[in-house]
Each structure stands twice: as C-alpha cells, then as structure tokens.
Amino acid sequence: MKSLRLWLAAAAVIAISSQPATSWATRAVGATVTGEITSSPSTTEIEVAHRRYHIEANSPATETARSFFLGQVVDLVLSRPGANKEPEVVSISAHADQ
C-alpha cells in the first residue's frame, strides 16, 4: 500500500512538471513576421518595422526579448488571434540571414 502511494505521488509530480512543455508543443501558431527592430524591446512589447507587437506573458519570447537590440533583424512568431484579440508574440529569434 505504501509503495502504491509513493508511485502515485511520483506520477503526479512528473505529470505536473511536464505540463508546460506539452502545452507549448501543441500550441497553434499564426504568422511569422520578419523585420528590423525599430524601438528598444521590453519584456512586454517589441516594435518591428515600425509596428508594435505585444509579447504574450509567460511565453519563450518574454525571456529572449531583452537579448535583442535596436536595428537587429528578427523573426517573430505570432499566436493565432482569439475572439476580439490581436495576435501576440510567442517566440523571437535572430533572422537566419545575418
């Protein structure tokens, strides 16, 4: 009985810890935008080609946004827009041609 409880607790920890990775792997993404950063990026928004994009909270983009600089060419991956909502940036990477 004790080993069954231990096994269930271990299974619960594994299931909870693997949940975010699973949700990002199955997330539907929208368009990809490529352009030059025209304003200093922050953790909440980035401006590319004079268009401002909101960065989705708790996405990989929030962690990498501050590592890019003004004038750098980047690729933005946008989420699909929800009902009455603009798409948000979920990923930012340096453009491959640089």
Pair 24, 68: CB distance under 8 Å: no
Q: Considering the domain boundaries, does residue 24 fall inside one? A: no
Binned at pLDDT 50, 70 and 90, residue 3 comes out as confident
Pair 55, 71: CB distance under 8 Å: no
Give the count of domains, the chain.
Answer: 1
Q: Considering the domain boundaries, does residue 69 fall inside one? A: yes
Q: Considering the domain boundaries, does residue 20 fall inside one? A: no
Domain coverage including residue 74: 29-94
Q: Tell me the per-residue pLDDT of 5-64, one tens digit each, with 9 for 90 and over.
A: 777 777 666 666 655 544 555 555 678 889 999 988 888 899 999 999 999 888 888 888
Q: Tell me the per-residue pLDDT of 18-28, one tens digit each, with 9 for 90 and over.
A: 555 445 555 55
C-alpha to C-alpha distance for 79 and 28, rounded to whole angstroms = 7
Q: Considering the domain boundaries, does residue 52 fall inside one? A: yes
CATH of the domain at 65: 2.40.50
Residue 91: count other Cβ atoms within 10 Å of its Cβ: 18
Task: Retrieve residue 95's tokens.
Answer: 């453009």
